[in-house]
Amino acid sequence: MKRETMKSHVKILATGGTIAGISRAPAQSEYCAGQMKIQDMIDAVPDLTHLAIISGEQIANVGSQDMSFDILLRLTCRINELMEQQDIHGIVITHGTDTMEETAFFLNLAVNSPKPVVLTGAMRPANAISADGPLNLYNAVAVAADPDARERGVLVVMNDRIHGAHSLTKTNTTSVETFLSPVNGLIGTVNYGKTAYFRFPFRRHTYLSEFSSRFCRPPHPLLPRVDIIYACIDMPPDLIDFSVSAGARGIVIAGDGNGNMNQDTLKNAARKAAQGICIVRSSRVPTGTVSRNVEMNDDTLGFIVSDELNPAKARILLMLGLSETCSRDRIQQLFYSY
Ligand code: SIN
């Protein structure tokens, strides 16, 4: 039978978050993330079975502020294992929204398949008035079941939008319209399961990523410690010393503006770069790129720029980069490729 005439099989891997959260009462903002089990979430949206054959698995049940590399590596390994099965056509991951962009970006580098991998979540707990989780789950399954979603990298479906893992970022603490893709725009839209695509990712991803074959089965590469330091007025330069003495092999500066930091921090960062610590300049500004040699000479100072990646995603790429190479030029190239 041809694929178009068959229902896709979509596996839902649950990790927790507000989509699995329960509040004290439908109109109260107080709630606890990661309470519902995957089968209850599937049963709550019976129309999912019109879109695909559905099965679920519980990977974890945490608020995404407690997402860890331990869970992330188990999730990655399970995705890569499932994607080798011919009868699995796509995967949905339910996840808290707080760190969803980090997980999406990590998977975008580590999943070894062109099949759709779609993260979704919710801003309102499952029993809230106008809970957004059920429709987000429905739309995410529609995208994961859609052969046209293949080869588009890891996607995030929230509030009718299809975002790419490279571009999306959370912009509002409570609104259902929290995720935006300000630098590169949306991958597409999905409205009650009807998909429309605008573009493919501009950067390397999933089966085209040089990292993805290393996450198919354990042992996984050892990921070194990389810290993020947030720039501000009178930023204390010794935060860098603390990170390095605690074992960081790389530091991402969430710089002001185009990746700036005060003179004392700059001098300390350059000293650390000369000692072999990888210093990446990113920005605390939510949109725009950080470019080389504009307001400071990165060539002389030994710095790397994050280009389009925000500090949280720059940290993930630097961890993966440092697990393979210490070459500053090579790591800079990674920031232009992913
Ligand atoms: C979380 O990230 O787990 C809590 C917040 C959310 O899912 O919206």
Residue of 22, 97, 119, 172 with the most ligand 1 atoms within 8 Å of its CB, for mutation: 97
283 within ligand 1 shell (Cβ under 6 A): no
Query: What is the band of 218 on the pLDDT scale with cuts at 50, 70, 90?
Result: confident
CA 156 / ligand 1 centre spacing (Å): 14
Ligand 1 close to Cβ of residue 178 (< 6 A): no
pLDDT class of 216 with cuts at 50, 70, 90: confident
Q: Is 273 in the pocket of ligand 1 (CB under 6 A)?
A: no
Q: How remote is the CA of residue 95 from the centroid of ligand 1, in Å? A: 7
Could you tell me the two tokens for 113? Answer: 């398949």
Residue 5 banded pLDDT, cuts 50, 70, 90: low
For position 1, what pLDDT does the model report? Answer: 46
Catalytic residue among 5, 15, 18, 300: 18
pLDDT digits 0-9 by tens, 166-182: 999 999 999 999 999 99
Joined together, the tokens standing for residue 319 give 């961890």
pLDDT band at 217 (very low <50, low <70, confident <90, very high): confident
Q: Is 18 a catalytic residue?
A: yes
**Predicted model pTM:** 0.96
Does the pLDDT at position 4 exceed 80? no
Q: Are strands 278-283 and 304-305 parallel, antiparallel or unpaired?
A: parallel
pLDDT at 6: 84
First to last CA, the chain: 37
Q: Confidence band (pLDDT; 50, 70, 90) for 3? A: low
Identify the pLDDT of residue 168: 97
The predicted-structure confidence for 295-329, as pLDDT tens digits, reads as follows 999 999 999 999 999 999 999 999 999 999 999 99
**Residues facing residue 117 across a β-bridge:** 91, 154
Tens digit of each residue's pLDDT (9 = 90 or more) over 14-51: 999 999 999 989 988 899 998 999 999 999 999 999 99
By C-alpha distance, which of 90, 94, 143, 139 is closest to 115?
Answer: 90
For the chain, percent of residues with pLDDT exceeding 90: 94
**321-338 mean pLDDT:** 97
Residue 144 — very low, low, confident or very high, per pLDDT cuts 50/70/90?
A: very high
Residue 187 has pLDDT above 60, yes or no: yes
- Assess whether pLDDT exceeds 70 at residue 95: yes
